Amino acid sequence: MQTTILDILEDLTASDEVRNNLDLNLFETGLLDSMATVQLLLELQSQCGIEVPVSEFDRSAWDTPNKIIKQVERLS
């Protein structure tokens, strides 16, 4: 699961920083924005089979690779 998520993030951010630092703040660094967030939600749906409605997406709970992994584990 973790590898899938990191692959998605690396692809979306076009950067391998997400692999090297799992506590990197993706929004403050500008690596993710709302557009990329929606892509992330859609990829999670197609690759991991979990549905995350936009309402459940609270930036502060999804702002680092580690937190995203935790959220996906909680929801799957």
* Nearest residue to 5 (alpha-carbon basis) of 26, 33, 28: 26
Q: Any contact of residue 54 with other proteins (CB under 8 A)?
A: yes
Q: How far is the CB of 65 from other proteins (least distance, A)?
A: 19
- Integer CA distances (angstroms), 1 to 28, 70, 72, 76, in order: 25, 10, 9, 10
Q: What residues numbered 4-43 form the site for other proteins, per CB under 8 A?
A: 14, 30, 33-35, 37-39, 41-42
Contacts to other proteins by CB under 8 A: 14, 30, 33-35, 37-39, 41-42, 53-57
